Structure 1
Amino acid sequence: MARALVVQNPDALTAALDNAERAAAESTLRKAAAAGATVFYREIKVRAMPYYRTGTLERSIIVTYVAEDSVEGNIATYMVTFKSAAWYARLLEYGTSKMAARPFIRPSYEAKKQDAGKAVINKIQESVDNGG
């Protein structure tokens, strides 16, 4: 025997469903992905600090949207990268034949991957709670 579903507050249910729909929207997805990338961005800036001499490295760290790796409505890809002025960032991270590696990007990722995931979840939850 099936039970009847009784909705006490149909307006609240409608609002919750509308908010959930907005939370799945492209703008929310992009905001959430950007929030996660920003966590990495901040950590990379902190860990790159010992290598600041002229400030070029610091000014060159950016967060950018990667359209080629994104799927509209499903996947929003952001990446923390460097402007061409900081061409040497790769050399610091991986080393050269004459210099040992001084990694700061990979350790930043390892240290903050859980925080970045939480930032993404929090941004989506905020969108659900506030309706976009």
Structure 2
Amino acid sequence: MSTTDCLFCRIVAGEIPATVLRETRTTLAFRDIDPKAPVHVLVIPKEHYADVATLAEGDPGLAAEVLATAAAVAEEEGLLGDGFRLLFNTGTYGGQEVFHVHAHLLGGAPLGPMLTSNLS
């Protein structure tokens, strides 16, 4: 996939609108259009990496900036007191749907167990 076909690269380029909460030189945080919690924010690096494993290997400093942006948004959204979940889906089995690395910042209510048992 080229970056011109990538949904999140197009959001970074301003071609697709998003409700941006925080932007740094290297990262972007915006509300998920199909929220799974009262607060559901996606945090991405502006540079295209397919998943968190390739980001961590290719640019550990940028991976740290994604985490720092997520922490700042969690604070701004008032999630530090009761807690939040930060989730990276990676690959098909991990449930990744958009192959541009992104962290899901979820909070604002009890989130329940991390996974339900669906192993056969």
TM-score (norm 1): 0.28
Q: Which has more radius of gyration?
A: 1
Q: Which has the higher helix share?
A: 1
Q: Which has the higher strand share?
A: 2
TM-score (norm 2): 0.30
